[in-house]
């Protein structure tokens, strides 16, 4: 397969630089795809050679194992976007959500302001039903084209994704072998100045509330009727660290890589936080981030 991919294939490529947490060992093979056609071609080759593959957008919601990922990692940088006057927005899955939010607000289309400053790609956002400030993908997605494990490309309506709180039918193990190629959002006309003000407000909120640095965002989902961050803080875990993995002082649901953290340290910290919160409050926190690779 490496031969067939030619110079596009990077062998034993460290994955840390492809993630927001800056953690993770090598992929056996890695290909950066810049068009949807290339994603289809490369994933098709993996299927033909029976090589397991993992899709990565911006790597902002994953914890990659220190041992890395066996098989092929496809980094999706297909990022074309088309905005129609009637509010239909079509984007390739590698397009950054934050840029889409800014651009649509500027053009007087309402519905994506909540995604201002949201790290990650359209594909990652669809898979995880990303959301913030009361909005989420589920409320604006009309349909998405999906490359199915059998190699066919099918357009699926939003209902097909079975969206829930930070979940869809493609999140986690159930999503293996499926690739989101493009997404179509249905936005409404709005006043550009008001929309841009909402975008600016969302950005300001993020800057005020969230720590900067290497992180995966919210580590855990909020349990019903409560906040993971509140529980972790109440458990006295702000600033707790294992090696270079640290619970943020600013927002306790964020874990930071203070420089040289390993995936093992991050995972040990996650387990410690989960055990402490369960011991003190009887609440079992569910992971929002996803562990990938050889654990
Ligand atoms: C600082 C910070 C703040 C954050 N704030 C928020 C927030 O407010 N709200 C929120 O919901 N999330 C937040 N996140 C998490 C993250 O931004 C979102 O989950 C984002 O949508 C992930 O996109 P990604 O491209 O980085 O996905 P990745 O991390 O690359 O991938 C995530 C999962 O999706 C799969 N995947 C990615 N692209 C595709 C595709 N095209 N087809 C099939 N599978 C695919 C991957 O295999 C993996 O399983 C934050 C993260 C950080 C670092």
pLDDT in tens, 52-110: 999 999 999 999 999 999 999 999 999 999 999 899 999 999 999 999 999 999 999 99
255 CB within 6 A, ligand 1 = no
Question: How many angstroms does the Cα of residue 3 sit away from the middle of ligand 1?
Answer: 31
Which residue's CA is minimally distant from atom 10 of ligand 1? 130
Q: Is the dihedral of CA 261, 264, 268, 270 positive or negative?
A: positive
Is pLDDT at 175 greater than 80 in this prediction? no
All structural domains of the chain, each given as residue ranges with its CATH number in brackets, are 2-76 (3.30.43.10), 81-208 (3.30.465.10), 211-292 (3.90.78.10)
Model pTM score: 0.97
User: Given this model, what pLDDT does residue 174 score?
Assistant: 78
Tokens for 236, please give them. Answer: 């006295």
**Tell me, what's the pLDDT at 287?**
97
Q: Is the pLDDT of residue 201 over 80?
A: yes
| 180 CB within 6 A, ligand 1 | yes
Instruction: Look at residues 177, 144, 181, 140 and name the one whose alpha carbon lies nearest to residue 161.
Output: 144
Question: Coil, strand, or helix at residue 124?
Answer: helix
Read off the pLDDT of residues 208-262 as tens digits, 9 standing for 90 and up.
999 999 999 999 999 999 999 999 999 999 999 999 999 999 999 999 999 999 9
Report residue 176's pLDDT band, with 50, 70 and 90 as the boundaries.
confident
Dihedral sign from CA coordinates of 120, 125, 131, 136: positive
């Amino acid at each position: 397969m490496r031969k067939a991919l030619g110079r596009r294939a990077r062998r034993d490529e460290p994955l840390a630089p492809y993630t927001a947490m800056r953690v993770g060992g090598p992929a056996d093979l890695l290909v950066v795809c810049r068009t949807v056609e290339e994603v289809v071609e490369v994933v098709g080759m993996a299927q033909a050679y029976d090589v397991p593959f993992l899709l990565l957008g911006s790597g902002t919601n994953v914890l990659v194992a220190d041992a890395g990922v066996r098989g092929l990692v496809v980094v999706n940088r297909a990022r074309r976007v088309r905005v129609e006057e009637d509010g239909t927005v079509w984007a390739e899955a590698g397009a950054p959500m934050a840029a889409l939010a800014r651009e649509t607000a500027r053009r007087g289309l309402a519905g994506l302001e909540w995604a201002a400053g949201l790290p990650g790609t359209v594909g990652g956002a669809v898979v995880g039903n990303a959301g913030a400030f009361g909005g989420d993908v589920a409320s604006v997605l009309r349909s998405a084209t999906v490359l199915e494990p059998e190699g066919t490309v099918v357009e699926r309506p939003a209902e097909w994704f079975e969206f829930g709180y930070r979940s869809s039918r493609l999140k986690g193990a159930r999503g293996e072998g499926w690739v989101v190629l493009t997404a179509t959002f249905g936005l409404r006309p709005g006043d550009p100045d008001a929309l841009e003000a909402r975008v600016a407000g969302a950005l300001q909120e993020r800057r005020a509330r969230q720590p900067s640095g290497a992180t995966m965002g919210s580590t855990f989902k909020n349990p019903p009727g409560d906040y993971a961050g509140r529980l972790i803080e109440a458990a006295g875990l702000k600033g707790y660290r294992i090696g270079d993995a640290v619970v943020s002082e600013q927002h306790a649901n964020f874990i930071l890589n203070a420089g040289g953290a390993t995936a093992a340290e991050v995972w040990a910290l996650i387990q410690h936080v989960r055990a402490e919160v369960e011991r003190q409050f009887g609440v079992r926190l569910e992971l929002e981030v996803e562990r990938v690779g050889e654990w």
